[in-house]
């Protein structure tokens, strides 16, 4: 199972996707968890209502989403367990597209276009893995020696 999680090929195309997606989610996660970049911080963010009624208690789901953004972004940037980080981001963005932005239509502001782009980037990393310059490639190369 672990080998499948870190499996990746020696291609460069995931690198710019990893760096871009990871930077966005580290920044947004830092806003929500740490209050950086004029963000709300964990206490304020986790007191917001959850997008779906079944998400009870809301503070738990919102806190988990905030940490998933930060941790997922860090994992994706490093290429360390890239698929795990991409899965965390994918889950967050799926809820964001369907549960938050859908009523706003397609175009920004408030629409699904930006969230859908991030969702597609995370799906690409779920499929491809970390690629070159990733910790996953380094770990899988060491195992073959």
DSSP assignment of 70-134 equals HHHHHHHHHTSSHHHHHHHHHHHHHHIIIIIIGGG-SSSSSSSHHHHHHHHHHHHHHHH-S-TT-
pLDDT computed for residue 1 by the predictor: 82
Copy the structure tokens of residue 92. Answer: 């967050």
Instruction: Say how many CA atoms lie within 13 Å of 67 toward its Cβ.
Output: 8
Place of tokens 């860090």: 74
Q: What is the pLDDT of residues 55-104, one digit of tens each?
A: 999 999 999 999 999 999 999 999 999 999 999 999 999 999 999 999 99
Which residues 6+ apart lie within 8 Å of 51 measured at CB? Answer: 95, 96, 99, 100
pLDDT of residue 11: 92
**Model confidence, pTM:** 0.92
- The CA-to-CA distance between both ends of the chain, in Å, stands at 19
Give 104-137 pLDDT, tens digit per residue. 999 988 899 999 999 999 999 999 999 999 999 9
Tracing tokens 């799926």 back to the chain, one arrives at 94
Is 59 in contact with 47 (CB distance < 8 Å)? yes
């Amino acid at each position: 199972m672990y080998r499948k999680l870190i499996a990746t090929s020696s291609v460069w195309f995931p690198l710019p996707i990893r760096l871009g997606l990871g930077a966005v989610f580290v920044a947004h996660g830092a806003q929500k968890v740490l209050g950086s970049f004029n963000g709300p911080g964990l206490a304020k963010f986790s007191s917001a209502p959850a997008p779906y009624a079944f998400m009870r208690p809301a503070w738990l789901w919102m806190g988990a989403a905030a940490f998933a953004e930060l941790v997922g972004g860090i994992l994706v940037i490093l290429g360390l367990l890239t698929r795990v980080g991409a899965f965390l981001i994918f889950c967050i963005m799926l809820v964001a597209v369907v549960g938050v932005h859908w009523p706003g239509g397609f175009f920004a502001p408030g629409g699904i276009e930006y969230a859908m782009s991030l969702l597609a980037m995370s799906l690409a990393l779920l499929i491809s893995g970390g690629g070159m310059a990733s910790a996953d490639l380094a770990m899988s190369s060491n195992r073959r020696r």
